[in-house]
């Protein structure tokens, strides 16, 4: 019999495949069993907690004390769901998610998804547009804003529309779920949102086309790029056949060039690679055996954060500056409510609800990320040699 964790992982994998297909019906159908599994786990943990009062269960599930606004929000949702006419009851609920719930969702995501923790990932619930500095640190200047200074700042300021991309999450909620109370329903809602947002966002951060979704790290965002029907073109892949200092230095040098032609410091390089390629190509090339027989892995010529992601295609890798990718997600001005839905199946004791989140993401400049072709990368022979020094009597 499969464990709950294995079943949930399979459901996550199915949802990830559906999201890659961009088929709305397939995504909706994959969402239901995924959310049902999370719901069932929460209910079982709630019942166990009732019997044992084991506080470790609360910690594991992420159950915490709700704020007054959060409690009011969930009490309103429970009341509407228990109504004889939930469709009508939901039309009278004006309240969207309190911003603290989105903060907690983002914190949950960062704790379990290294890529989303590495980038600039922000709660943009109360925003519709984000003004960003595309060039990083800007030189301060004294004096009037004359033509020369205006030209210096030209292209430094960019704007990201946070209302263009919508992520819908489906939440089946049973009568048993309503009985567990606001704090446990919060754990369920955050569980569904954090996993679904993470799955959709990680895929988009790497491969997003820019059409109704974020622009991925593997896409060109140069000012003069040709965007066709909303789709940004892929970057031309740089062939990287090894991870030696000269190769790595060339990669860092490309990242060090700011879009205004000036230079910027590169303190740490992000490397994102498919798990299979990591273990067959990167891991053998970055693991060193010490003289005492122990191994040290992820040894590279320059400070680097290596992250495995299934969103990266085989034989490819992304090198870049993590803080130069901005991702904002939140309830937005058009979403953030849990809504009654009649689009998908219902059971006698269960209804399916829908919630919408809005956001967007992109690299802040075209030089911030490099798409690499690592097809020809082979394992390097990294050895540590020990030379025995024989001392003469005079030296001893």
Strand pairing partners for 307? 272
Distance (Å, whole) CA 222 – CA 9 = 38
| Cα 332 versus chain centre, distance | 18
| Residues 153 and 276 both lie in one domain | no
- According to the model, what pLDDT value does residue 111 have? 86
Q: List all residues 6 or more positions away from 313 whose beta carbon is below 8 Å from its beta carbon.
A: 207, 274
Assess if residue 386 is contained within a domain.
no
Sign of CA dihedral 190, 164, 328, 12: positive
HEC profile of 97-125: CCHHHHHHHHHHHHHHCHHHHHCEEEECC
Q: Buried b / exposed e across 356-381, counting CB within 10 Å, b at 16+?
A: bbbbbbbbbbbbbbbbbebeebeeee
Assess if residue 54 is contained within a domain.
yes
In order along its 396 residues, the chain shows pLDDT tens digits of 567 778 888 888 888 888 777 777 787 778 878 888 888 888 888 888 888 877 777 877 778 888 999 898 888 888 888 888 877 787 777 667 788 888 888 888 888 889 999 998 888 765 555 455 454 444 444 444 444 444 444 444 455 555 556 777 777 777 788 888 888 888 888 888 888 888 888 888 999 999 888 899 999 999 889 999 989 999 999 999 999 999 999 999 999 998 777 889 999 999 999 999 999 999 999 998 888 888 999 999 999 999 999 899 999 999 999 999 988 887 655 556 677 765 554 444 556 777 777 778 899 899 999 999 999 997 665 555 455 555 555 555
Q: What is the number of structural domains in the chain?
A: 2
- Of 352, 349, 358, 350, the closest CA to residue 339 belongs to 352
Assess if residue 244 is contained within a domain.
yes
| Residues 196 and 311 both lie in one domain | no
| Residues 44 and 93 both lie in one domain | yes
- According to the model, what pLDDT value does residue 150 have? 42
Assess if residue 378 is contained within a domain.
no
* Structural domain for 164, as ranges: 4-214+329-364
Assess if residue 310 is contained within a domain.
yes
| Residues 243 and 139 both lie in one domain | no
pTM of the full structure? 0.78
By CB atoms closer than 10 A (0-12, 13-18, 19+), residue 85 is exposed
3-state secondary structure of 132: strand
- According to the model, what pLDDT value does residue 63 have? 83
| Residues 167 and 290 both lie in one domain | no
| Residues 207 and 253 both lie in one domain | no
| Residues 78 and 133 both lie in one domain | yes
Backbone angles phi, psi at 383, to 5 degrees: -130, 150
CATH at residue 315 = 3.30.2320
| Residues 176 and 277 both lie in one domain | no
| Residues 260 and 350 both lie in one domain | no
Q: List all residues 6 or more positions away from 156 whose beta carbon is below 8 Å from its beta carbon.
A: 133, 134, 135, 138, 260
Give how far Cα 131 sits from Cα of 128, 160, 161, 224, Å. 10, 7, 9, 20
Distance (Å, whole) CA 115 – CA 273 = 11
Give how far Cα 341 sits from Cα of 81, 88, 171, 179, Å. 12, 12, 10, 21
| Residues 106 and 204 both lie in one domain | yes
| Residues 162 and 251 both lie in one domain | no
Instruction: Check: CB of residue 184 under 8 Å from CB of residue 46.
Output: yes
- According to the model, what pLDDT value does residue 126 have? 54
CB atoms under 10 Å from CB of 89, counted, come to 17
């Amino acid at each position: 019999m499969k464990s709950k964790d294995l079943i949930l992982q399979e459901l996550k994998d199915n949802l990830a495949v559906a999201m890659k297909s961009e088929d709305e019906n397939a995504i909706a159908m994959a969402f239901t069993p995924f959310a049902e599994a999370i719901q069932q786990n929460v209910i079982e943990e709630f019942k166990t907690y009732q019997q044992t009062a084991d506080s470790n269960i609360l910690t594991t599930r992420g159950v915490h004390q709700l704020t007054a606004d959060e409690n009011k929000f969930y009490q309103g949702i429970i009341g509407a769901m228990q109504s004889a006419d939930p469709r009508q009851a939901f039309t009278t609920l004006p309240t969207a998610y309190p911003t603290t719930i989105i903060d907690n969702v983002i914190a949950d995501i960062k704790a379990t998804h290294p890529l989303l923790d590495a980038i600039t990932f922000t709660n943009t619930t109360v925003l519709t547009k984000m003004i960003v500095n595309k060039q990083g640190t800007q030189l301060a200047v004294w004096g009037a804003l004359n033509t020369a200074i205006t030209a210096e700042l030209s292209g430094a300021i960019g704007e990201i529309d946070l209302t263009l991309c919508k992520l819908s999450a489906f939440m089946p909620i049973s009568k048993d779920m309503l009985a567990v109370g606001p704090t446990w329903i919060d754990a369920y809602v955050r569980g569904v949102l954090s996993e679904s947002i993470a799955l959709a966002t990680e895929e988009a951060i790497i491969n997003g086309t820019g059409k109704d979704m974020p622009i991925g790290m593997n896409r060109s965002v140069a000012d003069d790029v040709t965007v066709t029907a909303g789709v940004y073109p892929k970057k031309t892949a740089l062939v990287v056949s090894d991870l030696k200092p000269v190769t790595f230095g060339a990669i860092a040098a490309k990242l060090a060039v700011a879009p205004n032609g000036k230079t910027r410091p590169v303190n740490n390089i992000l490397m994102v690679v498919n798990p299979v390629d990591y273990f067959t190509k990167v891991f053998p090339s970055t693991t060193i055996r010490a003289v005492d027989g122990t191994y040290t892995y992820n040894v590279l010529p320059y400070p680097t954060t290596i992250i495995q992601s299934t969103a990266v295609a085989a034989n490819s890798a992304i090198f870049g500056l993590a803080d130069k990718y901005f991702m904002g997600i939140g309830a937005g001005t058009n979403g953030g409510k849990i809504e009654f839905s009649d689009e998908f199946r219902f059971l006698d004791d269960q209804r399916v609800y829908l919630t919408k989140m809005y956001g967007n993401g992109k690299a802040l400049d075209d030089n911030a990320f490099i798409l690499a072709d690592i097809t020809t990368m082979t394992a390097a022979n990294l050895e540590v040699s020990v030379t025995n020094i024989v001392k003469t009597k005079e030296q001893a």
